[in-house]
Amino acid sequence: GLVTAGWLWPPQVRERLLCQTNVRISRADIAINAKKEVSKLRHELRNLKREVLHEKKGDKREVMKMKAEVEELQSSVLSDLTQIREIMTTLLELEREKAQK
């Protein structure tokens, strides 16, 4: 092959050995790819931030709703306790009246 300078070699071999391929990536290409990647990450971060804020608002509404339900339940329990107290007081007074007779 040295004497014929590769003339008798198959074209694929000649091309592979004798031609230079531009496999190298330039610094500009690396910078462009990095810039695209950073831009993509920023976009994803913005979307994630929007999603988190949306979930936070939903959670806040849910907490406020639960708080209102708890306050309503507390009020109901206090009202029931007041009624029980009044009934017990009335029963105690009736028992005292019976005992005095």
Read off the pLDDT of residues 32-50 as tens digits, 9 standing for 90 and up. Answer: 999 999 999 999 999 999 9
Residue 11 CA to residue 13 CA, distance in Å, equals 5
- Hey, which of 1-5, 8-12, 74-78 has the most confident mean pLDDT? 74-78
**Res. 56 pLDDT band, cuts 50 70 90:** very high
Q: What is the pLDDT of residue 27?
A: 86
pLDDT at 70 over 90: yes
pLDDT at 19 over 70: no
